Homo-oligomer: A and B are copies of this chain.
Amino acid sequence: MTSKQEFIEKLRNSSLRPTKQRINICEVLFNRDKTFHFTISDLFNLIKDKTGEKVSLATVYNTVHAFHKKGYLKEIPINSNQTYFDTNVTDHHHFFDVKEEKLIDLKNEDVGPIEIQRSIPGKKIKSVEVLVKLED
């Protein structure tokens, strides 16, 4: 449980002004036990539901991108018509339940270390992500 005050500080420290909208978004995104996987429209709806206050869709986009740029959110590569984001910004892998369209975190020990035995001259590895698709 993070207090509103702490969100305000974190925002200030990131040179993001602590607006009412951003604080509400922080509460929805980061006041949870487990990692949270969402689309913009998931988040947009949740804000209304959980805080009672409406934030414009443009602001949700702006804020998510601001947080993404600051490294507080991660983008998850799956083929969907909507982009998925993740509050777990560490390097980790996923199950994707194709039917439910739901992401589930895998612990690194659920997958084991992955050694890439090939390299491309002039390029270095930025990330290694495993996506395990699930069906019934």
Contacts and interface: CB of A to CB of B under 8 A. Distances in A.
Interface of A: 75-79, 83, 95, 97-98, 104, 106-107, 109-112, 114-118, 120, 122-136
Given A78-B77, A83-B79, A131-B131, A123 B97 contact: yes
B106 A116 contact: yes
B136 A132 contact: no
Nearest to A130: B130
A112 B115 contact: yes
A44 to B, nearest CB: 19
A21 to B, nearest CB: 25
A117 B106 CA distance: 9
A117 B109 contact: yes
Cβ-closest 3 pairs across A and B: A123-B134, A110-B118, A126-B133
B124 A134 contact: yes
A116 B126 contact: no
A107 B77 CA distance: 20
